[in-house]
Amino acid sequence: MAAAPPEKILKDLADLWVTEGKQEVGEAAHGVLRACTMTLIVITEDREDPADLGETIAALMPEHPARTIVIRLTGAGERSIAQRVFAQCWMPFGQRRQICCEQVEITCSDASLGDVPSVVLPLEVPDLPVFLWCRSPRLLGMAEFPALAAMARRVVVDSGALADAPAALRRLADEAAHGMLLGDLAWTRLTRWRQTLAQIFEDPRHAARLTGPARITVCDAGAVTTQALYMGAWMAGALDAAGIGATVHIRTKAQETFAELECGDFHARLERQDDHLVATVDGLSQCTLLPKPDDYLLLREELGIVHRDPVFSSTLASAARFAYATD
């Protein structure tokens, strides 16, 4: 069985900086600057393209410099765990000094998952936030998940990758109720939609027309998805907080992606049309670009939130209640 003692990894990390420093010699040397604002633990399947993940992490580092610990799950097999360390460096435009972040890669079989916390916990950078990005949907259902999640202050998952949306939301709501600080990329994908809806009500004349009761209709390409449930729950929750009752309808027949709010004679609709988001209020439309957000953009937003996200927390709880109703 291969092993990855944390002392060895820590020594490799220290040696890494000595090596990086030695590469910068001579009069033109400006040294290497180590940057770190967090520990980012990424759990992924070994079969996933390492280049894709590598590019995402490299893109994140200038904005969220981190000691990144990538745990690759090799699946079934005997207990095995292995590691390597390397640096992720870049040269900011117009500057002469390289900035580098550390990356540790640990490969382990399912049977060794229980050993992972004992390897990873000593590697976390003290006093800085720890994020866990769980890219493996099957891990959420495994017995080891709570122990792995407990290594981090905040756990980011993607409920959109799970087959049964109502069940996924109930599971996440349950974890949140037990104190896990969660982020969900399915929720992050809604930020542009939510922001566009909020912008409509920056005009107080529109807000003044919300005299209730309201009807909310959400459709996500004809399926009950966690995104559709989140959107409906968030809109209803926001209106409820403003004293306006609302009913939520998740449409599963139309092959469209939209969210609609009707309140008396007020009517607002957000609709995806190819790469655009069209916001229509009382028949007047405005079109903005809505490119499909990639992992980099989604993680960039999530890593900026260190503490509890109150709007997400309350939406998750009510979306899980909707999920019961849709069963």
Contacts to another protein by CB under 8 A: 33, 35, 37, 61-63, 65, 92, 94-95, 99, 191, 194-195, 197-199, 201-205, 207-208, 210-211, 235, 238-239, 241-244, 286, 288-289, 301, 305, 309-311
| CB nearer to another protein: pick between 122 and 212 | 212
The CA distance from 320 to 327, in Å, is 11
- The SS3 assignment for 241 reads helix
Least CB distance from residue 73 to another protein, whole Å? 30
Give CA angle at 26 (25, 29), nearest 5°: 65
Least CB distance from residue 324 to another protein, whole Å? 25
Which residue, among 85, 79, 149, 180, has the nearest Cα to 123 in the 3D structure?
85
DSSP letters, 159-203, are GGGSS-HHHHHHHHHHHHHTT--EEEHHHHTTHHHHHHHHHHTTS
Least CB distance from residue 239 to another protein, whole Å? 6
Least CB distance from residue 26 to another protein, whole Å? 21
Chain centroid to CA 181: 12
| CB nearer to another protein: pick between 19 and 286 | 286
Least CB distance from residue 238 to another protein, whole Å? 5
- Cβ atoms of residues 83 and 107 within 8 Å: yes
| CB nearer to another protein: pick between 210 and 229 | 210
What is the DSSP-derived secondary structure letter of residue 221? Answer: T
Residue type, 223: A
| CB nearer to another protein: pick between 139 and 181 | 181
| β-strand pairing of 246-251 with 32-34 | unpaired
